[in-house]
Amino acid sequence: MKINTAEFIVSNSDVSKCPNEPLPEYAFIGRSNVGKSSLINMITNRNSLAKTSGKPGKTQLINHFKINENWYLVDLPGYGYARVSKSTKETFQKFITDYFERREQLVCAFVLIDIRLEAQKIDLEFINYLGETEVPFCIVFTKADKISRGKVDQHIAAYRKKLLANNWEEMPQHFVTSSTEGTGRDALLSYIEEVNQG
Ligand code: GTP
Ligand code: MG
């Protein structure tokens, strides 16, 4: 799919104020600093559509970006910045759980995972929460440029094992990306195009 237009529409902390058109949307979620905003810029080929930072906690609101006039990418704040591990619901701002529980336009959540790290409890908790909430999701491994190709495969295999140990029957649909190198862009866009076409 070619990206012809990508425009910022609105930021807010209230799901009832998100755009109310019946257009499909894809949300990017994951730990602070995992690369959600960078991936939105990479996919849309725009340098600074979404604001990025080397410091965690940059994105603070629900941000809607309208693509090709007929679907949305949604940038969300990260979780897991707080040092103390609490339950997903407590760690998360209520407006984010509201978003996942009430947003009818959401067709798929992309859960971003730093490919370099061992499976983190907070990500597994969040994935389980999406399962319980019945939100369709894919896993997007980020920062693949930071490790070798062989290590990428190893890390994915380890992640799969961890999910199976957490009562998932199969590894969900997943993508390997690098925002600095453009890796995974075509695969993600093809997937979105397929879902948009139903
Ligand atoms: P919050 O908004 O704070 O939750 O963070 P975020 O998940 O939106 O992360 P962001 O896109 O702001 O990126 C965080 C840092 O990681 C920045 O310094 C990016 O340049 C860097 N980064 C993001 N993606 C990649 C990648 O694929 N490769 C490399 N090498 N660095 C990346
Ligand atoms: Mg961000």
Separation of alpha carbons 88 and 90, rounded Å: 6
What confidence score (pLDDT) does residue 93 get? 81
Ligand 1 centroid to Cα of residue 192, in Å, is: 22
Contact 37, 29 (CB under 8 A): no
54-101 pLDDT per residue, tens: 998 899 999 999 999 999 999 999 987 655 455 655 657 889 999 999
Ligand 1 center to residue 198 CA distance, Å?
Answer: 31
Instruction: Give dist(CA 136, CA 118) in Å, integer.
Output: 23
Q: Which residues line ligand 1 (CB under 6 A)?
A: 32-38, 52-54, 56-59, 77-78, 142-143, 145-146, 178-180
pLDDT digits (tens, 9 = 90+) for 179-195: 999 999 999 999 999 99
| Chain position carrying tokens 């999406």 | 130
The alpha carbon of 26 and the centre of ligand 1 are apart by a number of angstroms equal to 18
Query: Among 96, 122, 179, 185, which residue has the most ligand 1 atoms within 8 Å of its CB, making it the best to mutate?
Result: 179
Q: What are phi and psi of 58, to 5 degrees?
A: -70, -55
Question: CA-based angle 18:131:8, to the nearest 5?
Answer: 25
Share of the chain above pLDDT 90, in %: 89
Mean pLDDT of the chain: 94
Atom of ligand 1 nearest to the CA of 112: 7
Question: SS3 sequence, 134-194?
Answer: CCCEEEEEECHHHCCHHHHHHHHHHHHHHHHHCCCCCCCCEEECECCCCECHHHHHHHHHH
Name the superfamily (CATH) of residues 6-196. Answer: P-loop containing nucleotide triphosphate hydrolases (3.40.50.300)
Ligand 2: centre distance to CA 121 (Å): 21
Q: What is the pLDDT of residues 114-170, one digit of tens each?
A: 999 999 999 999 999 999 999 999 999 999 999 999 999 999 999 999 999 998 999
Q: What is the SS3 assignment for 17?
A: helix
User: Which atom of ligand 1 is the closest one to the Cα of 183?
Assistant: 27
62 near 11, Cβ under 8 Å? yes
Ligand nearest to the CA of 111: 1
pTM for the full predicted model = 0.95
Of all ligands present, the nearest one to the C-alpha of 96 is 1
Q: Which atom of ligand 1 is nearest to the CA of 57?
A: 3
Residue owning the nearest CA to atom 20 of ligand 1? 54
Distance CA 156, CA 153 (A): 5
Q: Per-domain residue ranges for the chain? A: 6-196
Expressed in angstroms and rounded, the spacing between residue 35 Cα and the centre of ligand 2 is 7
Predicted pLDDT of residue 82? 58
